[in-house]
């Protein structure tokens, strides 16, 4: 799949931030823990990752009903079970497949889970992040885990049994998996060194609405009193996507456009916004929206900056590429460090193809960005989800025709991307599109 972009137009108009990808796909897994309907509003229904997960849920006997007009998804999982599937059906190219174990095992004491896919950020067969911590979660809750040829098999005939899970590192995915499994376990589970992001808080809120008993202590300890089986039905809206919100802000700054961005989750991105302020960007805002124009640049140009990507509430690694873009229009040299995923630098080589001159230098954990660069059209590839969006934005700012190959990477994280950009006046066409149907 590729995007053909005629860049150089100045975007104007209103864009609404969709429900967060990193929350929606997790809430979809949580909805499977009930035999009653679960309705999720503000849902990013066109995301590629959502389509893949919904397809697998339906292969297992669940029902996913999508309403494009109201942006809602209704899940009915009463018929869900660990079915024997083909190797092709187990090929689910997303990272969060492990979250599909709890719903299967809670019903029949057995789960069959596809191996995690998604962005290969580092080395190794699972992109440098692996799934060993998820195996640890299942084993600590009384399961036997077997790695099969095309899937992971998790067995606990009596269901999950509460226990203590002490993560050796902070992990979002591990925390999410532990929450799902512990909610339907028998007994009490303590989760230590949990990583509680805004998206994890969204997951906890839905689980509580479904009847789970979850208590948070401080910033990294969670206690779950297991329900001993499946939970009840609920309704909830997905939180707005903080990474998408930042993307639109950066695009407006780079392009010199005038954008009103609605549905900005300010409380979830306080530190990232502070870094924008320190870079000389004064945003016009109310409680839910920002209006970005060239007047937001106090000195007429982005000021050089240094920042380090790490864990929430700081600048998370998924935001790294957006700050690299911002540095390219700065008044001097900026530096972006990434201590959490130091190998997340492959996108820099592709982004450099859309910049005239040598303004980018990358090494493990550090990207140096020269300012006052000029964007030029070119043909580039996508390396990961956020890196793909970075080259899309650069191509939109470059006068002339560009092609972004494997742009499906960006479509994994940005709902209705082509439609939103076209509504702002951008000339973008996504070709060779083979969407995954959901709710059919």
Which pLDDT belongs to residue 122? Answer: 36
Is the pLDDT assigned to residue 250 strictly greater than 60? Answer: yes
pLDDT band at residue 118 under the 50/70/90 scheme: very low
Average pLDDT over residues 398-422: 94
Residue pair 71/240 in contact (Cβ under 8 Å)? The answer is no
Which pLDDT belongs to residue 92? Answer: 84
Residue pair 317/119 in contact (Cβ under 8 Å)? The answer is no
Which pLDDT belongs to residue 86? Answer: 84
DSSP H stretches of helix in 279-342: 320-328
Phi, psi of 334, rounded to the nearest 5 degrees: -115, 160
Which residues lie below 8 Å from residue 298, measured CB to CB, with a gap of 6+? 280, 281, 282
Q: What is the mean pLDDT of the chain?
A: 93
Chain center to CA of 439: 21
Average pLDDT over residues 276-283: 97
Average pLDDT over residues 65-90: 91
Phi, psi of 73, rounded to the nearest 5 degrees: -130, 130
Is the pLDDT assigned to residue 217 strictly greater than 70? Answer: yes
Q: Judge if pTM exceeds 0.85.
A: yes
Which pLDDT belongs to residue 50? Answer: 87
DSSP assignment of 128-164 equals TT-SHHHHHHHHHTT-EEEE-SSSEEEE-TT--B--E
Is the pLDDT assigned to residue 413 strictly greater than 50? Answer: yes
CA 102/CA 175 separation, integer angstroms: 13
Question: Dihedral, CA atoms, 54, 59, 65, 68, nearest 10 degrees?
Answer: 40
Average pLDDT over residues 213-229: 97
How crowded is residue 298: how many other Cβ atoms within 10 Å of its Cβ? 13
CA 341/CA 250 separation, integer angstroms: 22
Please list the active-site residues. 119
In total, the chain counts a number of residues equal to 440
Average pLDDT over residues 291-295: 97
> Helix 21-31 and helix 198-209: axis angle, to 10°?
20
Of the chain, the percentage scoring pLDDT greater than 70 comes to 95
pLDDT band at residue 126 under the 50/70/90 scheme: very low
DSSP assignment of 205-270 equals HHHHHTT-EEEEETTTEEEEE--SS-B--EEEEPPB-HHHHHHHHHHHHHHT-EEEEE---GGG-H
pLDDT digits (tens, 9 = 90+) for 313-334: 999 999 999 999 999 999 999 9
Which pLDDT belongs to residue 358? Answer: 96
DSSP assignment of 44-84 equals -TT-HHHHHHHHHHHHTT-EEEEETTTTEEEEE-TT-----
With CA atoms as reference, report the closest residue to 354 among 379, 388, 320.
Answer: 379
Which pLDDT belongs to residue 101? Answer: 96
Average pLDDT over residues 105-128: 67
Which residues lie below 8 Å from residue 85, measured CB to CB, with a gap of 6+? 59, 60, 112, 151
Which pLDDT belongs to residue 69? Answer: 92
Our CA angle for 17, 19, 21, nearest 5°, is: 110
* Across 75-84, 120-129, 369-378, least confident range: 120-129
Is the pLDDT assigned to residue 129 strictly greater than 80? Answer: no
CA 221/CA 230 separation, integer angstroms: 23
* Across 25-29, 42-46, 52-56, least confident range: 52-56
Is the pLDDT assigned to residue 115 strictly greater than 70? Answer: yes
Residue pair 404/378 in contact (Cβ under 8 Å)? The answer is no
Phi, psi of 89, rounded to the nearest 5 degrees: -65, -30
Average pLDDT over residues 107-127: 65
For 205, the token pair is: 């809120």
């Amino acid at each position: 799949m590729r995007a053909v972009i005629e860049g150089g137009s100045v975007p104007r108009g209103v864009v609404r931030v969709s429900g967060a990808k990193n929350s929606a796909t997790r809430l979809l897994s949580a909805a499977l823990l009930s035999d009653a309907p679960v309705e999720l509003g503000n849902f990013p229904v066109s995301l590629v990752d959502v389509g893949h997960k919904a397809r697998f849920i339906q292969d297992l006997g669940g029902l996913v009903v999508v309403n494009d007009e109201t942006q809602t998804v209704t899940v009915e999982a009463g018929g869900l079970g660990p079915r024997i599937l083909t190797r092709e059906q187990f090929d689910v190219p997303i990272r969060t497949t492990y979250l599909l174990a709890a719903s299967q095992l809670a019903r029949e004491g057995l789960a069959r889970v596809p191996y995690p896919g998604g962005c290969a950020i580092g080395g190794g067969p699972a992109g440098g992040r692996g799934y060993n911590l998820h195996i640890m979660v299942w084993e600590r809750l009384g399961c036997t885990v077997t790695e099969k040829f095309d899937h992971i098999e998790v067995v606990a005939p009596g269901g999950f049994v509460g226990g203590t899970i002490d993560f050796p590192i902070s992990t979002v995915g591990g925390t999410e998996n532990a929450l799902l499994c512990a909610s339907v376990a028998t007994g009490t589970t303590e989760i230590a060194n949990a990583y509680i992001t805004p998206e994890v808080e969204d997951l906890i809120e839905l689980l509580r609405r479904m009847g789970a008993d979850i208590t948070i202590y401080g910033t990294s300890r969670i206690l779950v009193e297991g329900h001993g089986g499946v939970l009840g039905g609920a309704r909830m809206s997905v939180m707005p996507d903080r990474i998408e919100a930042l993307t639109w802000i950066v695009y407006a700054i780079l392009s010199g456009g005038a954008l009103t961005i609605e549905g900005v989750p300010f409380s979830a991105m306080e530190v990232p916004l502070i870094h924008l302020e320190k870079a000389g960007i004064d945003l016009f805002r109310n409680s839910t929206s920002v209006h970005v124009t060239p007047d937001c640049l106090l000195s007429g140009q982005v000021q050089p900056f240094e920042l380090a990507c790490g864990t929430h509430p700081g600048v998370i690694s998924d935001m790294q590429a957006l700050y690299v873009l911002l540095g390219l229009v700065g008044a001097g040299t900026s530096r972006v460090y990434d201590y959490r995923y130091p190998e997340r630098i492959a996108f820099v080589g592709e982004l450099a193809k859309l910049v005239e001159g040598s303004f980018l230098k990358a090494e493990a954990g550090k990207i140096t960005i020269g300012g006052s660069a000029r964007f030029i059209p070119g043909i580039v590839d996508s390396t990961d989800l956020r890196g793909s969006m970075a080259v899309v934005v650069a191509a939109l700012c470059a006068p002339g025709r560009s092609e972004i190959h494997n742009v499906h990477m960006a479509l994994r994280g940005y709902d209705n991307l082509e439609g939103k950009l076209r509504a702002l006046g951008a000339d973008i066409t996504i070709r060779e599109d083979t969407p995954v149907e959901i709710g059919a």
